[in-house]
Amino acid sequence: MTDMDVTNDVARLFDRQLQEWKLAADNYAALSSVKVREYEVGDARIKLQFNPARIISSAAKVDAKSIKARRCFLCGDNRPAEQDGLPWGGEYMILVNPYPIFPRHLTVPNINHVPQRISGRMPDMMRLAEYLDGFVVFYNGPHCGASAPDHFHFQAGNKGFMTFDSDLECHGKKELVKAAEGAEMYLVEGLARRAFVINAASVESGADMFECLYRALPMKEGDEEPMLNILCWYTDGEWRIAVFPRVKHRPDCYFAEGEANILITPASVDMGGVFIAPLEKDFEKVTADDIKNIFDEVCISEVEARRIVDNIKWAKHHG
Ligand SMILES: [Zn+2]
């Protein structure tokens, strides 16, 4: 990855931060020697990254009480003194993520302390993906991996690092769910986890199609939005949005005692095909079956997928 691949302002932000901010510099340096294993889970290629620095996110307490008791680390006043930002889009700040998974990993919080809710923000997500040349933009729902569910933020990491998009080209079984002018939506099966994928030629058509899917997703009582993770790519005038509806945040193995414990807490990057193990004991023992079981537990079943498809089709005919 050369600096030519990223927007120049972002490249300069990285250069500056890696010179001036020791924590970030150390964690990015450590990433270059991080261990990775590869698995075949059905037709999907899944990587497992042993990344000790991510314990801060994987072990994060995200219950309402813990969140209320801590100082929000995405609010401008509480951010580390060394952390510098690049204002974007009027209400966002592009920041270097000091606990990276990707060789270049950004966090893009709103400048205001507003809750993590995606509805109405898909146009922002798509424009950010267009702006951040060389990056995939992603969103973790408030109960699906966001370690700051009370402060709106996107993240972004290098294109080509996750495996989902290339697997989709080769093996994904795509079923057309809805077509409109400038956008199409598919249900994707056969890659160990179910996803809805939207291909769009404009921000408007992509965002409309996303809202149509969003309205059809099941929502748990007491939740503020359907459980989901989202990835968004922009390439040559086209957007691709992959939505992974979720039924569970942390799998049972996360809470299990003794040998059965696996400290993996899936979010967008795991859905994208890169699982993160902050503990070496998990990195050594996790099998392809464990990964399949985690996907089965936290992602929607075939029955749930069909119900969502029916909801979308019903809305199309009656809405
Ligand atoms: Zn905040």
> In CATH, what number is assigned to the domain containing residue 113?
3.30.428.70
Rounded to the nearest angstrom, the distance between the alpha carbon of 194 and the centre of ligand 1 is 32
Rounded to the nearest angstrom, the distance between the alpha carbon of 263 and the centre of ligand 1 is 26
Rounded to the nearest angstrom, the distance between the alpha carbon of 78 and the centre of ligand 1 is 8
Domain boundaries, position 91: 3-318
Rounded to the nearest angstrom, the distance between the alpha carbon of 128 and the centre of ligand 1 is 20
Q: What is the pLDDT of residue 51?
A: 92
Token pair for residue 217?
């997703």
Rounded to the nearest angstrom, the distance between the alpha carbon of 284 and the centre of ligand 1 is 36
Rounded to the nearest angstrom, the distance between the alpha carbon of 150 and the centre of ligand 1 is 7
Among 126, 129, 102, residue whose Cα is nearest residue 32? 102
Rounded to the nearest angstrom, the distance between the alpha carbon of 75 and the centre of ligand 1 is 4
Cβ neighbours of residue 282 closer than 8 Å, sequence gap 6 or more: 262, 263, 264
Write the burial class of residue 125 (CB in 10 Å: 0-12 exposed, 13-18 middle, 19+ buried): buried
Q: What is the pLDDT of residue 5?
A: 47
Residues of the chain with pLDDT under 70: 1-7, 316-319
Rounded to the nearest angstrom, the distance between the alpha carbon of 251 and the centre of ligand 1 is 27
Rounded to the nearest angstrom, the distance between the alpha carbon of 58 and the centre of ligand 1 is 19
Rounded to the nearest angstrom, the distance between the alpha carbon of 115 and the centre of ligand 1 is 9
Rounded to the nearest angstrom, the distance between the alpha carbon of 146 and the centre of ligand 1 is 13
Rounded to the nearest angstrom, the distance between the alpha carbon of 298 and the centre of ligand 1 is 27
Q: What is the pLDDT of residue 63?
A: 82
Rounded to the nearest angstrom, the distance between the alpha carbon of 66 and the centre of ligand 1 is 14
Q: Where are the beta strands (DSSP E) in the chain?
A: 35-41, 44-50, 85-88, 92-96, 105-109, 135-140, 153-158, 173-180, 183-189, 195-200, 228-235, 238-245, 274-277
Among 127, 301, 140, 153, residue whose Cα is nearest residue 225? 140
Rounded to the nearest angstrom, the distance between the alpha carbon of 123 and the centre of ligand 1 is 22
Rounded to the nearest angstrom, the distance between the alpha carbon of 112 and the centre of ligand 1 is 7
Rounded to the nearest angstrom, the distance between the alpha carbon of 50 and the centre of ligand 1 is 29
Among 296, 295, 154, 301, residue whose Cα is nearest residue 218? 301
Cβ neighbours of residue 235 closer than 8 Å, sequence gap 6 or more: none
Q: What is the pLDDT of residue 6?
A: 52
Backbone angles phi, psi at 74, to 5 degrees: -100, -10
Rounded to the nearest angstrom, the distance between the alpha carbon of 202 and the centre of ligand 1 is 31
Global pTM reads 0.95
Q: What is the pLDDT of residue 314?
A: 85
> How many distinct structural domains can be found in the chain?
1
Rounded to the nearest angstrom, the distance between the alpha carbon of 139 and the centre of ligand 1 is 16
Rounded to the nearest angstrom, the distance between the alpha carbon of 114 and the centre of ligand 1 is 7
